[in-house]
Amino acid sequence: MTDFKKKAEEKNYWRKRNKFYYDSLENLFKNLIPANASVLEVGCAEGDSLHAIGNKNEAGFDFNAYHIQNAKEKYPSIKFYCIDAEAPDFNEKAKEINQQFDFIILCDLIGTLNDIQNVFERLKVFCHSRTKVIVTYRNYFWNPVLKAAEKLGLKMKEGEQNWLYIHEIKNLLTLAGFDVVRTGGMLLMPVKIPFITSFINKYFAKLPIIKRLCLTGYVVANNDISEVKGSEDYKVTVLVPARNEEGNIENIVRLIPHMGSGTEIVFVEGNSSDNTYKKIEEVITQNKGKDIKLFKQPGKGKGDAVRKGFENATGDILMILDADLTVAPKDLPKFYNALSTGKGEFINGSRLVYQMHEKAMRSLNKAGNIFFSNVFSWLLEQRITDTLCGTKVLFKNDYIKLVENRKYFGDFDPFGDFDLLFGAAKLNLKIIEIPVRYGERTYGETNINRFRDGMMLLRMCFFAMRKIKFNL
């Protein structure tokens, strides 16, 4: 206990001495973890990070008994356990926790482990099918700087460390049965200098190439999401926002295939100038054997229609199908299968892979889509090739979580696409894209104004930079 006490006191001293660094890590965790998620920290020390995150359902374990003793006294609302992640008796000790968590944190821990893959594998006992693991690590580029800081008495002496590159960490997580969702870096300046440090860390540290020089990197990985329920278990809601689409309604209902345990079609009519609403009523009467619902959109814009439709959806899986039928309903089972079998957690359509009809998308629109796709790939730290494809699919339970966190972004999105993409990124959902063939509209005219909507997209990019990319 004496040795544990000495090491704990030393760590506490340096934690206070380098408060800026640890505060930055805590801000990262708060940004990555939703407020209602359950959290476990491996190597929690005295629980200061867990306390800072502030979630209601939290637990931590550490091999240092003195740390755990102090943690229980400091934060009685958090559950703490004295467990060594690499000890032979780990499996027996882990039974004390007897809980599965939404998020598991390993903060600057892997550098000290003898067998990183084994520890990752042992975490499975605390995982359900949707658990996410957050791993932070230090950049090998900084090794000489950190060694010099130790000699100058500016940093705690840590002895020899494992210095791993990002591809090595990804590989170890994959071997242990985890699927990497996103990566990132933070802290070009780990020491606080008023105004200068904040500016550099918030903006310069997020720029391409430069971000590779950050002191701390992080990885977010899913548990093996292929272990979710089989496809036959899910009811599907296909949401169809419809404004001035009278001529497409019959084909929509005729062409949407049966999926899963049942398919519900939800029309949200957008105050059309033609007879779209009446036509939907007629089609519902003609198809009494199908589960079809109709709602009048309360506001304006596709985003408003999406929110109205999903509020009233009863399916386990939520899909969006644009009423212009430029994306064929026959492709919807591809989206269903990708989500239901765990290939991804948010399925986005991409119109820019296959050749499309020459009149399906104007050249300027295509160029704009490519530009915004590259911007959003950088913003969300996941590859997005088509941000504006109307076909997007996710679990209803994830949409509920997205709504709970919507206050972070607000309800300003008139398109509905970015509300979902932002929300998926905020929840660290794995985004998978399915290429679709984009056809020419056969009835009516597009509701898109490319210049007005293009300016709105630019505004949303700057908004996303502030809320997602430059928020730390």
- CA distance between the termini of the chain: 38
Question: What's the DSSP call for residue 35?
Answer: T
Mean local confidence (pLDDT), 68-78: 96
177, 200, 227 — which closes off a domain?
227
Cβ–Cβ contacts within 10 Å for residue 453, how many?
Answer: 16
Residue 256 shares a structural domain with residue 400 = yes
Residue 261 shares a structural domain with residue 164 = no
Q: Distance between CA 87 and CA 121 in Å, rounded?
A: 14
Which is more confident, 154 or 409? Answer: 154
Please report the sign of the dihedral spanned by the C-alpha atoms of residue 30, residue 31, residue 34, residue 38: negative
Q: What is the pLDDT of residue 416?
A: 65
Which is more confident, 10 or 61? Answer: 61
Residue 156 has pLDDT above 90, yes or no: no
Mean local confidence (pLDDT), 72-100: 96
Confidence of residue 469 (pLDDT cuts 50, 70, 90): low
Among candidate residues 199, 335, 359, 333, the one with its CA nearest the CA of residue 258? 333
Residue 202 shares a structural domain with residue 253 = no
Angle at 373 between CA 238 and CA 216, to 5 degrees: 110
Residue 222 shares a structural domain with residue 303 = no
Q: What is the pLDDT of residue 14?
A: 86
Residue 209 shares a structural domain with residue 235 = no
Which is more confident, 195 or 321? Answer: 321
Mean local confidence (pLDDT), 217-232: 73
Residue 1 has pLDDT above 60, yes or no: no
Q: What is the pLDDT of residue 372?
A: 75
Mean local confidence (pLDDT), 36-62: 95
The predicted model scores a pTM of 0.82
* Plot region of 151 (φ>0 → left; ψ -120 to 50 → alpha; else → beta): alpha
Joined tokens for residue 112 = 């000290």
Residue 183 shares a structural domain with residue 237 = no
Residue 235 shares a structural domain with residue 217 = no
- Structural domain including 257 reads 231-469
161, 195, 227 — which closes off a domain?
227
Percent of the chain with pLDDT over 90: 54
How would you class 372 by CB atoms within 10 Å of its CB: exposed for 0-12, middle for 13-18, buried for 19 or more? buried
Domain count along the chain: 2
pLDDT tens, residue by residue, 164-201: 999 999 999 999 999 999 898 999 998 889 889 988 98
Q: Distance between CA 17 and CA 23 in Å, rounded?
A: 12
Q: What is the pLDDT of residue 204?
A: 84
Residue 297 shares a structural domain with residue 215 = no
Residue 156 shares a structural domain with residue 104 = yes
pLDDT tens, residue by residue, 422-467: 888 888 899 999 988 877 656 556 555 556 666 766 777 777 677 6
208, 227, 246 — which closes off a domain?
227
Per-chain mean pLDDT for the chain:
87
Cβ–Cβ contacts within 10 Å for residue 417, how many?
Answer: 24
Which is more confident, 298 or 71? Answer: 71
pLDDT tens, residue by residue, 168-178: 999 999 999 99
Which is more confident, 231 or 248? Answer: 248
Cα–Cα distance list, 182 to 113, 123, 217, 368, 390 (Å): 23, 19, 11, 25, 24
pLDDT tens, residue by residue, 270-311: 889 999 999 999 999 999 999 999 999 988 888 889 999 999
Question: What's the DSSP call for residue 470?
Answer: S
Angle at 461 between CA 310 and CA 359, to 5 degrees: 75
pLDDT tens, residue by residue, 346-385: 999 987 777 666 555 566 666 766 777 777 777 777 778 8
Cα–Cα distance list, 39 to 58, 60, 81, 241, 364 (Å): 5, 8, 14, 38, 46
5-14, 362-371, 383-392: segment of lowest average pLDDT: 362-371
Instruction: Output the domain CATH number for residue 344.
Output: 3.90.550.10
Residue 127 has pLDDT above 70, yes or no: yes
Local structure of 327: helix, strand or coil: strand
Residue 276 shares a structural domain with residue 181 = no
Residue 167 shares a structural domain with residue 241 = no
Which is more confident, 207 or 319? Answer: 319
Q: Which residue is it, tokens 């966190």?
A: 405
Residue 237 shares a structural domain with residue 183 = no
Do 376 and 384 form a contact (C-beta atoms < 8 A)?
A: yes
Joined tokens for residue 104 = 């598991």
Distant-in-sequence, close-in-space partners of 203: CB < 8 Å, separation ≥ 6? 470
Q: What is the pLDDT of residue 219?
A: 96
Instruction: Output the domain CATH number for residue 126.
Output: 3.40.50.150
Could you write out the DSSP letters of every residue in 387-454?
S--S-EEEEHHHHHHHHHTGGGT-S--SSSHHHHHHHHHHTTPPEEEEE-PBPPP-SS-----HHHHH
Q: What is the pLDDT of residue 336?
A: 95
Distant-in-sequence, close-in-space partners of 75: CB < 8 Å, separation ≥ 6? 47, 50, 51
Q: What is the pLDDT of residue 362?
A: 60
